[in-house]
A = this chain, B = another copy of it.
Amino acid sequence: MAGEAHTAAATEPIETDAVVIGAGPIGLYQVFQLGLQEIRTHVVDALPHPGGQPLELYPDKPIYDIPAIQVCTGRELVASLLRQIEPMDAHFHLGQKVSQVERRPDGRFLITTDRGTRLIAPTLFIAAGVGAFEPRRLKLPALVPHEGRQVFHQAHDTAELANQHVVIVGGDDVALEWAIRLSRPGPAQPASVTLVHRRDAFQADPDTVAQVRALITGQALRFEAGQITGAVDSPDGLSAVEITSPDGSIHALPLGCLLVFLGLSPRLGTIADWGLAMERKQLLVDTEKFSTSVAGIFAVGDINTYPGKKKLIVCGFHECTLAAFAAAPLVHPERQVMLQYTTTSTRLHELLGVAVPRGSE
- A residues with a Cβ closer than 8 A to B are 25, 29, 32-33, 36, 58, 61-72, 74, 77, 80-81, 83-84, 173, 201-202, 204-207, 209-210, 213, 287-289, 306-308, 310-312, 314-315, 317-319, 321-322, 325-326, 339, 342-344, 346, 348, 352, 354, 356, 358-361
Give the Cβ gap from A307 to chain B, nearest Cβ, in Å: 4
Q: A202-B361, A312-B321, A312-B339 are in contact. Are A348 and B64 (CB under 8 A)?
A: yes
Most buried by B among A65, A206, A207, A342: A65
Q: How far is the CA of A318 from the CA of B314 in the complex (A)?
A: 6
B352 touches A64 (CB 8 A): yes
Q: How far is the CA of A314 from the CA of B320 in the complex (A)?
A: 10
Most buried by B among A61, A81, A325, A358: A358
Q: A206-B356, A325-B308, A359-B206 are in contact. Are A61 and B343 (CB under 8 A)?
A: yes
Q: How far is the CA of A84 from the CA of B63 in the complex (A)?
A: 12
B65 touches A68 (CB 8 A): no
Residues of B within 8 A of A361 (CB): 201-202, 209
Residues of B within 8 A of A311 (CB): 339
Residues of B within 8 A of A205 (CB): 344, 346, 356
Most buried by B among A67, A74, A201: A67
Q: A80-B70, A202-B361, A288-B307 are in contact. Are A65 and B314 (CB under 8 A)?
A: no
Partner of A67, one of B29, B71, B358: B29
